[in-house]
Each structure stands twice: as structure tokens, then as C-alpha cells.
Amino acid sequence: MKIGWITVPTPLPSGPMAVGVTDLGVCAAQYVPSAQAGAPRCADERRVAAVLGRFEEYFAGERRDLGLPLDLRLATGPHRVVLETLHRTVPYGETVTYGVLAARSGVFEEAADSPGLAARTVGQMMGANPLALLVPCHRVVAADGLGGFGGGLVGMDVKRWLLTLEGWLPPTLDWNGPL
């Protein structure tokens, strides 16, 4: 699989994102573009323009779905099933708990008597989501609050920013997104 990378400017506390595209669609999106330093850039100007335009519209509050084709080949087995379930069933402005997503996905039926284990496993899967933002792991929350998000404190700031943009959290006084 040949991946071409696009650096996407964002208003997120983490800065720009790195978005990887293949001939099938977007296969990767990362909040830390420096991880792709030296990687091949996407040479298809049409794809670059589509990715940059859709992300710009989303961050401006003008788009609720990025509407880009996804290439899920970097996720396999139960991880892919959980990511597909999240993408298909949790729309903009809504959230789901780790445990509910585990149950909804159907891949944890053997763990029915241990829902905490299934929820923790989903949490780990969200941390390994190759398509951050496009498969909206920021919409997966703990039963008792926001839960975690990769990247430590900056990661949690990203999760709060995205949930504020989508109207799930109220804006704070330092909100720098669209109104």
C-alpha cells in the first residue's frame, strides 16, 4: 500500500495533522505530523485540495462530516469492526461510552460477564485508531466523564476542543473555535 502524506493546518491545541492517502482514500490521520517527517508527500493535487478543503470546512463549523473515502486497511479484525461501528453509529455532536461501543460492536460477546474489560479494550483500540477525527474516537467517552485521549494533556485539550466544536461540551471563556 503506497501512502502519500498531506500536512493539514488545524486550530487544534496539537497543531497541524498528518493525513495519509492511498488510491482508495484516507488511510491515516494523526495529530502529530512530525511523525511523518521525510515520508512521501501526496502528489495528487486533486486529493490534496479535497482533504485540505474538507478539513478547513469542518474546523470552521461548516461541515459535520468530512465526507472523504476511507481506506481501513491499517485496522484489522475486531479493531476494524469497532472502528467501523463507531464511524457508522456515532454522528457529529453525539457521544458513546467505551462500554456501549463495545456492546454495540458485537465483538466482545465472550466478555459479557466482564463489561469493564471490554470497555478498557475499546479504550485501547481508540488509542490505536489510525484514522483520528475521520473515525471519531474523540466521541467515545467514559461512563463517568470524558475518559482519556492519546497525547496526555494536549490530547485531552484536543478532545475537549473537538467536543466543543460539535456542541457536546459548552464553550469556555478561552474557546477559539467558530461560534
pTM for the full model?
0.92
Residues 46 and 103 in one domain: no
Question: Is 102 in the same domain as 38?
Answer: no
Question: What positions carry a catalytic annotation?
Answer: 137
pLDDT tens digits, 66-77: 999 999 999 999
pLDDT tens sequence across 27-65 = 999 987 666 777 899 999 999 999 999 999 999 999 999
Residues 48 and 83 in one domain: no
The Cα–Cα gap between 153 and 72 comes to 28
Whether residue 40 is found in the same domain as residue 85: no
Q: Which three cell numbers stand for residue 103?
A: 456492546
CA atoms within a 13 Å half-sphere pointing along the CA-CB vector of 35: 10
90-136 pLDDT, tens per residue? 999 999 999 999 999 999 876 666 768 899 999 999 999 999 999 99
Counted domains in the chain: 2
Whether 158 and 90 map to the same domain: the answer is yes
Please check whether residue 14 is in contact with residue 152, taking contact to mean a CB–CB distance below 8 angstroms: no
Per DSSP, what are the bridge partners of residue 147?
A: none
Identify whether 90 is part of a domain.
Answer: yes
Q: Are residues 14 and 43 in the same domain?
A: yes
Residue 126 located in a structural domain: yes
Of 82 and 172, more confident: 82
User: Is 176 within a domain?
Assistant: no
Domain that holds residue 37: 4-59
The whole-angstrom separation of Cα 96 and Cα 126 is 12
Is 82 found in the same domain as 19? Answer: no
Do 87 and 118 lie in one domain? The reply is yes
Are residues 92 and 120 part of one domain?
yes
Residue 119 Cα distances to 8, 96, 114, 129, 132, angstroms: 31, 11, 9, 15, 19
Closest CA to 8 of 56, 41, 43: 56
44 and 85: one domain? Answer: no
Same domain, 104 and 133: yes
103 in Cβ contact with 115 (< 8 Å): yes
